[in-house]
Structure 1
């Protein structure tokens, strides 16, 4: 359970760094890019914290974000609304990693 606590603490710290940039009224290009990067690592830390929990509980050895989210729902860790939001985040995260489109 110690590993789960460490992962959760890391995810919460990452979220705090993301939160600092999200509400900026007119972010510069650098601030926008920093927010995207912070979103990516916050997402990674969050799904890996959930993965550590469900693995620690012996519920599943899940290896991908979507499998972890589904297993977390089955384990009662996430409700249906959270699962839907998390699945959208998976798609958003994949978009930031695989495509970069300058507006």
Structure 2
């Protein structure tokens, strides 16, 4: 029972972070450079909460996973995540994306977030939101 409560509590935090991330994505073409840096930050903490929420959700279903890579693999195996490759890419690139002081990396990060990562996080958010009912 505690594991069920834990994932629901974690989802609440993920849901708030996702809402902020979603709002930034909606206005992405209007954002200044400084605001796009904020978008990258929002992606980072939303991604972090997403995989941790998945971990707690899986554990509530008696699937024991400890590390982000294991969480993503299990979530893909149980068809919670639809695009495992994008999730693995997010995991691998999250540290690279954090270094936005390099203009090329900055542009790369914004492009990846807009074109791939947002959709993948949205899909997981929708799935987990549906599990609350």
1:58 equivalent in structure 2: 62
The Cα of 1:64 is off from its aligned counterpart by 2.1
What TM-score, normalized by structure 2, do the two folds share?
0.65
Q: Aligned Cα RMSD in Å?
A: 1.7
The Cα of 1:96 is off from its aligned counterpart by 2.0
CA distance in 1, matches of 2:43, 2:100: 14
Unaligned runs of 5+ in 2: 104-133
Unaligned runs of 5+ in 1: none
Higher relative contact order (CA 8 A, sep 6+): 2
Kindly indicate whether the alpha-carbon contact (under 8 Å) linking 1:73 and 1:83 is maintained by their aligned counterparts in 2.
yes
Q: Deviations over 1:73-97 (max 9, x none)?
A: 2333233xx2122112212322123
Q: Deviations over 1:48-87 (max 9, x none)?
A: 0000011222211x222211010112333233xx212211
Aligned length: 99
| Counterparts of residues 1-103 of structure 1 (less than 5 Å) | 1-22=4-25, 23-60=27-64, 62-79=65-82, 82-97=83-98, 99-103=99-103
More helix by share: 2
What TM-score, normalized by structure 1, do the two folds share?
0.81
